[in-house]
């Protein structure tokens, strides 16, 4: 009888890729998937440490799975939380048999140590959905004031192009979603600035759809815009974080609202169907009423298809921890509510405007599909007739909109 595993993944798409690789390793070691966590011999929790709420969710999940596991099952905690708080975490989580960050060899299966620092290059199983994430680099060379990621994920390490392409081929997916902490900087650590452009071109030559997540705005060059446009998936996920210049500078980032609007409008003039997503931090230390008003005005003017607003979370070891001008929690909540309501209205109106149009979609599951405007797991979906085959492309007519989702016939 093979041993069975259960892998629970928290956090972002980059973590999902790591989990896929863990699963690939476990399967290669002879383990089989369990039907539920309570039936597994080995339970792995791949944690997230991005902000306080994510850390709490990770710990709650570990405790819940510690309770749910059957007698004798091993519980391993890995991922960002384990990497960042290693020994400390092991002390507060005696329930875990092992707390293992990325740099620690982990014995997960029957074989000896798995060199987990090589997660980036471990093989992974073929995709089970018509789409799959591919992580092209790990770590980040930037110094954004609020972000602890470089402190525990390290400097950027890009994977060689041929290795990325081999993974794309092996996954056999119709849509590849490229991810990295700072995707547009792919290759700069290999002395290949701008390597993201040929990478996108090469992936697009292999699969019908390529999508890019997390583009730092200053890296959005004309060459990158052109290659994204040429893929037929004009989807631009711009990591903007704020638009008030003094606040953006305090975040130790590039740009301001005027530049962002220029970029967005120039992309729209070339690709009228372009879809935009962004995320913003609310309540960064020193954020004034005027900064907030600028962000509201930007959101109104930019008419992004999708936007996420996140409350600033002070992270140990970051530049922002030392800054004065903390914003009161109730004020942050109020600003988030205002921004969220404004964006919800914009998203709904943009979805309504699609009613009556023809739209090419990829069918992800029976009755559920996505066009170029919808990133998997992040944006809305398109409800389609169940008769459409999973994994196929179809051109449908949008018949209705319900919040972020569309209905089609
Ligand atoms: S670009 Fe900035 S926010 Fe993104 S991972 Fe790097 S330091 Fe963090």
> pLDDT tens across 292-338, in order?
999 999 999 999 999 999 999 998 889 999 999 999 999 999 999 99
Is the CA virtual torsion 81, 82, 83, 86 positive or negative? positive
> pLDDT tens across 198-231, in order?
999 999 999 999 999 999 999 999 999 999 999 9
Q: Determine the Cα–Cα distance for residues 81 and 307; give it in Å rounded to an integer.
A: 26
> pLDDT tens across 94-137, in order?
888 888 876 554 555 444 444 444 455 556 666 778 999 999 99
pLDDT-wise least confident of 1-5, 26-30, 324-328: 26-30
Stronger pLDDT, 18 or 214, i.e. the higher one: 214
Task: Please give the distance, rounded to the nearest whole angstrom, from the Cα atom of residue 181 to the centre of ligand 1.
Answer: 6
Task: Please give the distance, rounded to the nearest whole angstrom, from the Cα atom of residue 155 to the centre of ligand 1.
Answer: 11
Check pocket membership of 144 for ligand 1, CB cut-off 6 A: yes
pLDDT of amino acid 50: 77
Whether the CB-CB separation of 213 and 179 falls below 8 Å is answered with yes
pLDDT of amino acid 226: 96
To test the ligand 1 pocket, which listed residue (181, 188, 214, 220) has its Cβ within 8 A of the most ligand atoms?
Answer: 181
pLDDT-wise least confident of 23-27, 147-151, 386-390: 23-27
pLDDT of amino acid 387: 97
Check pocket membership of 179 for ligand 1, CB cut-off 6 A: no
pLDDT of amino acid 124: 67
Check pocket membership of 12 for ligand 1, CB cut-off 6 A: no
> pLDDT tens across 273-293, in order?
999 999 999 999 999 999 999
Q: Determine the Cα–Cα distance for residues 144 and 138; give it in Å rounded to an integer.
A: 16
pLDDT of amino acid 115: 42
Q: What is the DSSP letter of 363?
A: E
Q: Edge-to-edge strands of the sheet including 275-282?
A: 235-241, 275-282, 306-311
Whether the CB-CB separation of 97 and 75 falls below 8 Å is answered with yes
Check pocket membership of 50 for ligand 1, CB cut-off 6 A: no
Task: Please give the distance, rounded to the nearest whole angstrom, from the Cα atom of residue 150 to the centre of ligand 1.
Answer: 7
Whether the CB-CB separation of 270 and 161 falls below 8 Å is answered with no
Query: What does 2-71 look like in DSSP terms, one character per residue?
Result: --EEEEEE-S-HHHHHHHHHHHHHHHHTT-EE-SSGGG-SEEEEEE--SSHHHHHHHHHHHHHHHHHSPT
End-to-end CA distance of the chain, in Å?
A: 47
pLDDT of amino acid 113: 44
Element counts in the chain: helices (H) and strands (E): 11, 18
pLDDT of amino acid 54: 85
Task: Please give the distance, rounded to the nearest whole angstrom, from the Cα atom of residue 142 to the centre of ligand 1.
Answer: 6
Q: Determine the Cα–Cα distance for residues 26 and 42; give it in Å rounded to an integer.
A: 10
Check pocket membership of 182 for ligand 1, CB cut-off 6 A: yes
| Average pLDDT in the chain | 91
Model confidence at 396, pLDDT cuts 50, 70, 90, reads very high
Alpha helices in 41-195 (DSSP H): 52-68, 80-92, 149-153, 161-171
To test the ligand 1 pocket, which listed residue (11, 151, 182) has its Cβ within 8 A of the most ligand atoms?
Answer: 182
Q: Which atom of ligand 1 is nearest to the CA of 214?
A: 4
402 — phi, psi (to 5°)? -135, 95
Neighbours of 2 (CB within 10 A): 13
Check pocket membership of 150 for ligand 1, CB cut-off 6 A: yes
């Amino acid at each position: 009888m093979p041993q069975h595993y259960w892998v629970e993944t928290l956090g972002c798409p980059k973590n999902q890729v790591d989990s896929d690789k863990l699963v690939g390793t476990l399967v290669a070691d002879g383990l089989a998937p369990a039907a539920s966590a309570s039936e597994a011999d080995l339970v792995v929790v791949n944690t997230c440490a991005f902000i306080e709420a994510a850390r709490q969710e990770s710990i709650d999940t570990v405790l819940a799975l510690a309770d749910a596991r059957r007698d004798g099952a091993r519980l391993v905690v890995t991922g960002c939380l384990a990497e960042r708080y290693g020994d400390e975490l092991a002390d507060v989580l005696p329930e875990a048999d092992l707390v293992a960050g990325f740099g620690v060899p982990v014995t997960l299966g029957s074989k000896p140590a798995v060199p987990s620092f090589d997660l980036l290059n471990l093989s992974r199983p073929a995709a089970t959905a018509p789409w799959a994430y591919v992580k092209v680099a790990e770590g980040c060379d930037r110094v954004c004031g609020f972000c602890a990621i470089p402190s525990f994920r390290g400097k950027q390490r890009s994977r060689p192009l041929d290795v990325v392409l081999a993974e794309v081929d092996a996954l056999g997916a119709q849509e590849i979603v490229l991810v990295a902490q700072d995707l547009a900087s792919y290759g700069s650590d290999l002395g290949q600035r701008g390597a993201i452009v040929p990478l996108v071109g090469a992936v697009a030559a292999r699969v019908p759809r390529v999508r890019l997540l997390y583009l730092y705005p200053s890296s959005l060059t004309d060459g990158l815009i052109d290659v994204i446009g040429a893929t037929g998936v004009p989807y631009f996920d711009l990591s903007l974080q704020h638009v008030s210049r003094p606040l953006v500078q305090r975040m130790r980032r590039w740009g301001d609202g005027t530049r962002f609007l220029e970029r967005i409008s120039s992309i729209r003039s070339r690709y009228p169907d372009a879809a935009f997503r962004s995320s913003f931090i609310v309540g960064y230390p020193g954020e004034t009423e005027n900064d907030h008003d600028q962000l509201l005005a930007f959101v109104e003017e930019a008419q992004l298809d999708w936007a996420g607003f996140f409350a600033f979370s002070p992270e140990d070891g970051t530049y922002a921890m030392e800054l004065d001008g903390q914003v009161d929690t109730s004020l942050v909540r109020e600003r988030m509510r205002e921004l969220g309501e404004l964006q919800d209205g914009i998203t709904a109106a943009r979805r309504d405007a699609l009613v009556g149009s023809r739209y090419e979609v990829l069918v992800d599951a029976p009755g559920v599909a996505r066009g170029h405007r919808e990133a998997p797991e992040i944006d809305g979906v398109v409800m389609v007739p169940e008769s459409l085959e999973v994994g196929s492309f179809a051109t449908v007519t949008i018949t209705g909109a319900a919040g972020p989702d569309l209905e089609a016939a």
